[in-house]
Structure 1
Amino acid sequence: MILKLIFFASFIILFYNYVGYGLLLLVLVKIKRWYRRDTPADTFMEPPVTLLVAAYNEEDFIREKVTNTLELDYPADKLHIIYITDGSSDRTPDIIKEYPRVQLLHENARRGKTAAINRAMAHVTTPYVIFCDANTLLNKEAIRNIVKHYADAQTGGVAGEKKVVASGDANAASTEGVYWKYESLLKKWDAELYSVVGAAGELFSVRTELYEQVEPEVVLDDFIISLRICQKGFRIAYAPDAFAMESPSASITEEHKRKVRISAGGFQSIVKLKALLNIFRYPLLSFQYISHRVLRWTLSPLSLPILFVSNLLLVWTEPQVWLWQLVLALQLCFYGAAITGYFLANRNIKSKPFYIPFYFLFMNIAVFQGFFRFITKRQAAAWEKSRRLVAVKS
């Protein structure tokens, strides 16, 4: 009986985290739509806003990034542009100096992105600030499509959309893109129900007055900043029509570096945001946070080996029960496909039926590695960025 409880508990956790939560979210959103049938019209807003870009050794791409920034559809007198390049040892600061409209902040010392953002925020005087990564390109309407959400006084921040742009027949592009499409759908429903639970650093915005200095050792600054705003009683809106485009990781090795770092930062975030685990204090926000984020960094990765081992033991103790044999066969097919996907990925062969199971398993293995990096305190806030494929073109 205990073995069966373990088997079903691990299965339910996995199903809920990756499928069930999305289905439940959709049902709750549809119920909310039914009760609130009036859709508020878009409000025209053109407030002063600051675009803050943290760049580290981006000389190969920085001209294209600055050009893209200057071409955004927003009044030049209302868009303050700050680039902070602390620690850059290449020509990135020198290139930015060629553009007089851009305010450059630079120090030779490298303390990490979080420390750089904290320093740059002292120079922000506008009511709203938009953060974006230096290796992305924004659509021209991005600023407008973000600021219009601030017409709602309860909106403390806005999460933009991340788009992974495929290049050639790269495996990373196809699967990373599929993953982000699913994440974007969950963000859309999360925001419609109440709030996005953690913005992505590629593109997000906050009310300047709500920003508070983040500890310099923080790895996932975007995640911490946005959820601390939620803790103050505000919500993070979602703007799918404001998007940052970036190319996928250059290789599965580079993607692995990124995933392990994010996982280590995830465990750090759970500790720093431990108050959000109190569902009695933040009923709806905690439900979303635990379902969408915490389970992915904790119980779900653990449930994978537990489900497999308990399934093996059930087949051994009750070989006559066809259910145990069926689930074991499906698991063996899944892991077989994942292993095949691994070997194909190493040979740069694109095959979604094998690569998707591999990528799923790969993400969960990275969580275990990120956990050990977190408990051994080996994940620094400053890190060597992952190489990307040829940069996207505007």
Structure 2
Amino acid sequence: MISLYSLASVLFWLLAFVVFYTYLGYGIVIWVLVRLRRGYAAPPAQPVEPLPSVTMVVPAYNERDYLPAKLDNCLAQTYPADKLNLLFVIEGSTDGSAEYLASRQLSIPALSVISGTERLGKIVAMNRAMSQIKTDITIFTDANTTLNREAVSRLVARFAPPSVGAVTGEKRINTEGKESAAGSGEGLYWRYESFLKKLDAQLYTIVGAAGELFAVRTSLYEPVEPDTLLDDFIISLRIAQKGYRVEYAPDAYALERPSHSVSEETKRKVRIATGGFQAIRRLAPLLSVGRYGWLSFQYISHRVLRWAVTPFCLPILLLLNILLLTQPNVPPLWIGLFWAQVLFYIAAGVGYILESRQTRWKLTFVPFYFVYMNVCVLAGFLRYRRGGLSGKWEKSRRAA
């Protein structure tokens, strides 16, 4: 009969491996696989000819302050103007967005606007917009982001292979010296995510687009459920589910300011985590590695474990360690592991206190952000279990 000590020990090491694999091990594994396979996907050297027609869709609920800069940023793209259309979707906006865009339409023939007095939510607005788009490629981008001038051209170039159904650009966080730890952590997180996305694309496909900047073949778009929280993730994964690849274009980027404060960033992260659990349920077939192969392997390793498994492992690891300490003749290893966990969480707590005082210490920064992310996931799970989800939501405030 297996002893309690043996069972707890095996479970501890199994969960510890899951945590390690989720955050570091997968990056190592996929790096090795890419080297062994010598890269599945390579960006095309030249775009297809003739150049496809493109529509840039900008959902913008009460974003009047950002609209002038966003519109000018779209018009500054290097893509041929006769191939580029702009569609701003501002349903329900009450801040003068409709009036401003109407004034700009007089001098911009390529600009179209979908407006209305009722706010139905971003997803309903996007579905409505897509029903009117006739161009070959549709690019989604947020109103509060700035794109590099070559972004559209570089996204479109990645569609040269017929196997590519969607392309995601790179999200970059523009942080300044005294930004909050959560905001700076957001930048650190996205730099690591960009590294993993490059490897994902080289192995087979990206597993989830960045909503700040991503493009799809218009013909492959499927209307999304109105209560969907992570529309970019669902749209891109459903295209991948059809057998198309989601390519990565790190040279096409959307620059965004970090969240205004930890409370604003928490609101955003909890919403993303809630949407992650919703997406896992709606994309349940992708859990079948036998059916979807590399796509399922990447999806489970990069997304499912991070959202639905690892956050629950962390408190269990501490509880198991405490249980092992109650056994007779405890080996020094378990004592050391226990105090290592305790010190890690103390460091995270100190990091939180320092952050609230607008001070950051590198020794506590990583523990704080790691614990913070996983606590937000657990909060997102509770939010998902409560139900009553809506596609209508208030955006988090960004730093000025």
Scaled to the shorter chain, the TM-score interval is over 0.9
For 1:38-80, what per-residue CA distance to the aligned partner results, in whole angstroms no more than 9, with x for missing partners? 9675113432111111001111221111111111111111001
Name the aligned partner's letter for residue 42 of structure 1: A
Greater Cα offset, 249-258 or 6-15 = 6-15
Cα RMSD of the aligned pairs, angstroms, is: 1.5
Confirm or deny: 8 A CA contact 1:57 1:88 kept in the other structure.
yes
Q: Where in structure 2 are the equivalents of 1:8-157 lying within 5 Å?
A: 8-33=13-38, 41-45=44-48, 46-100=51-105, 101=108, 102-157=111-166
Give the Cα separation in 2 of the matches to 1:126 and 1:40. 22
2:239 counterpart residue number: 229
Runs ≥4 residues deviating over 4 A: 38-41
Give the Å deviation of 1:319. Answer: 5.2
* Aligned AA (1:44): P
Pairing 1:336–2:346 present? yes
The answer on whether the counterparts of 1:260 and 1:369 sit within 8 Å (CA) in structure 2 is yes
| Equivalent-residue separation in structure 2 for 1:188 and 1:345 (angstroms) | 31
Match status 1:388 vs 2:398? yes
Residue aligned with 1:131, SS: strand
Give the match's secondary structure for 2:26. helix
Distance apart, 1:224 and its partner CA? 0.4
- The size of the alignment, in residue pairs, is 388
**1: CA distance, partners of 2:148 / 2:168:** 14
Q: TM-score, normalised by structure 1?
A: 0.95
Note closer, same or farther for the CA distance 1:319–1:61 as it changes in structure 2 (3 Å cut): farther
Give me the TM-score of the superposition, normalised by structure 2.
0.94
Q: What SS does structure 2 have at the residue aligned with 1:243?
A: strand
Task: Judge conservation of contact 1:170–1:350 (CA < 8 Å) in 2.
Answer: no
348-357 or 237-246, which deviates more? 348-357
Identity in percent? 47
C-alpha distance 318-130 of structure 1, shift in aligned 2 (>3 A): farther
**Contact 2:59 2:125 survives alignment (8 Å):** yes
Q: Equivalent residue for 1:253?
A: 263
Stretch moving more, 242-251 or 43-52: 43-52
Farther off after superposition, 360-369 or 371-380: 371-380
Counterpart among 351, 363, 369 of residue 359 in structure 1: 369
Shift in Å, 1:173: 3.4
SS of the aligned residue for 1:236 comes to strand
Q: Which AA in structure 1 matches 2:98? A: P
C-alpha distance after superposition, 1:206-246 (max 9, x if no partner): 00010011111111110000000011000100000000000
Equivalent position of 2:211 in the other structure? 201
Q: Which moved more, 1:265-274 or 1:371-380?
A: 371-380
What residue identity is the alignment partner of 2:155?
A: I
Distance (whole Å) between structure 2 residues aligned to residue 39 and residue 264 of structure 1: 34
Q: Which stretch of structure 1 is more off in the superposition, 313-322 or 82-91?
A: 313-322
Q: Which runs of 5+ in 2 are unaligned?
A: 1-5
Instruction: Point out where structure 1 has 5 or more consecutive residues left out of the alignment.
Output: none
